[in-house]
Amino acid sequence: MNAETLDLARLQFAITAGAHFLFVALTLGLAAFLVFAQTRATVSGSGVHQRMTRYWGQLYIINYGMGIITGIVMEFQFGLNWSGLTDMAGDVFGAPLAMEALIAFFIESTFLGLWIFGWNHLNKWVHLALIWVVAITAYASAYWILAANGFLQNPVGYEKRGDELELVDLAAVLTNEDTLIALAHVVGAGLLAGGFFLAGISAYHLRKQTTDLDLFRRSLRIGVVTAAPAALFTVIVGFGQFAVVGDSVPMKFAVSRGDTAEQEKVQAELTARLGPGDYRPPDWINVPASVMILLGFLMVLLLLINLPLAFKTHAGPVTRFWRRLLTWSIALPFIATIAGWLFREVGRQPWTITEVLRTEDAISPSVSAGNMRLTLVVFTLLFGALLVLDAWLLARFAARGPEGSALGMPPDPDEEPEPVPTF
C-alpha cells in the first residue's frame, strides 16, 4: 500500500467522521433540552414550554436528519476502506458498532418518527415518553460509539489468536477507562453545544425584539445556565483525560507536552518491544490541543459574564453587546469539538489499534490512489454541501421564530377534512 493511498484514505475518513460529529454534538444537547421542555409542558400545562418544544424540536429534527445521512456514509467506510481493521478486530470492534447502528438507526429513529407525527394524535404522556426514549437512545448511541473508539485507543478484553482478535471480556471493553472518561467529555461537550445554540439564537431574537419574547428569555436563561456548568465540567474532564492518555497512548501525551526527552524514552521502549519504526504522531497535534483548551477557557469566561445578564428583562447597551457576542459565539463549541477530535484521533497515529494494528495495515488492499482521490472529492463536496445546507436550514427556521414552526401545529378547526375516497 503506497503512502498516497493511505494518506487519502485517512483524510477521507477524517472529513466524514469530523463532519458527522458536529451533528452528534448538537443532537445530544438539544435532546436533553427537549426532554426538559416537554416534561415541564406536560406536567404543568405551561404554554410557553409547549411552544419551546415545538420551536426547538423543529431545529432538532433538521440537525438529526443531516446527522443520519453522514453517519450512514461513515459506517460504509469501515468495510470499504478499512477491511484490515474489520478482518482483524471485527469480533471486538464490530460488536459496539452493531449496537450503535441498532440503537441509532432503528430504535432512536423509529421513536423520533412517532414523536414527530404523534402530535395531536397520541396521549400527551405517551408522546412525552417518546422524546424520553429518543434522548436516552441518543446518549446510548454515543456510548456505544465511544466503546468502539475506546478499544482503538486502549485495547482491552481481547486475546490475539492468529491474525484475529477474539473478544474474551465484554465487561472490560464496556468499562474501558478511556471510554468512560471520553463519554463524560462528549456529554459535557454536547450540553455545551446545545446550550450555546439555545442562548445564541435566543439572544438574536431578544435583540431584534421579535414576537414571543417570553419564550426566548426563558430559552436564553436555560441555555446559559446549562452551558456554564457544562463548560466547566468539560474543561475539568478534558484535563483529566490527559492522565488516561498518558497511560494508554504515552507517545501522544509526550508530543502534546513537547517533552522531547519523554518522546525519546517512549520511542526506545516501543522499539525494544515492537521492533523498529517511528512511533511518533505528527507534531502539529499540539495545535488542535491548544485550540481546544483556549476555546474551553474562552467559553467559560463568556458564559460567566452572560450568566447574570441572562436574567435581565430590560437590556441596556452592555447587555446587548454581550448578547450579540453570544450569538456570534454559537460556532465556538463546534470548533473546539473538531479540535478535540483531531487531537484524539491523529494523536493515536501510527496506530489504528494502539500497539496492535498499524494504520497502514488496516487499510483495504483493494483500494487504489485513483479511487481514493475520486471518492475523496465526492465525499468532500457532499459533506460540504450537507454542512452548508444544515447551517442554512437551521438559520432560516431559527430566524422565523415560533410562528414559522409547523411541528405539532394543531389542525385548523375551520378546515374541512378531506373526503375519504371510495372504490
Which cell numbers in the block locate residue 10? Answer: 485517512
Contact 230, 371 (CB under 8 A): no
Using only C-alpha atoms, the chain has a radius of gyration, in whole angstroms, of 23
The answer for residues whose C-beta is within 8 angstroms of residue 121's C-beta and 6 or more apart is: none
Under DSSP, the state recorded for 158 is E
Please give the angle made by the CA atoms of 235, 63 and 319, to the nearest 5 degrees: 55
Is the pTM of the predicted complex or chain greater than 0.85? yes
Residue 410 has pLDDT above 90, yes or no: no
How confident is the model over 166-175, as pLDDT tens digits?
Answer: 999 989 999 9
| pLDDT value of residue 370 | 82
How does DSSP assign 117-146, residue by residue? HTTTTS-HHHHHHHHHHHHHHHHHHHHHHH
| pLDDT value of residue 330 | 93
How confident is the model over 102-136, as pLDDT tens digits?
Answer: 887 788 888 999 999 988 888 899 999 999 999 99
Question: How far, in Å, CA of 61 to CA of 57, rounded?
Answer: 6
Contact 198, 56 (CB under 8 A): yes
How confident is the model over 198-237, as pLDDT tens digits?
Answer: 999 999 998 887 777 889 999 999 999 999 999 999 999 9
Residue among 378, 368, 288, 281 at smallest CA distance from 336 = 288
How confident is the model over 177-197, as pLDDT tens digits?
Answer: 999 999 999 999 999 999 999
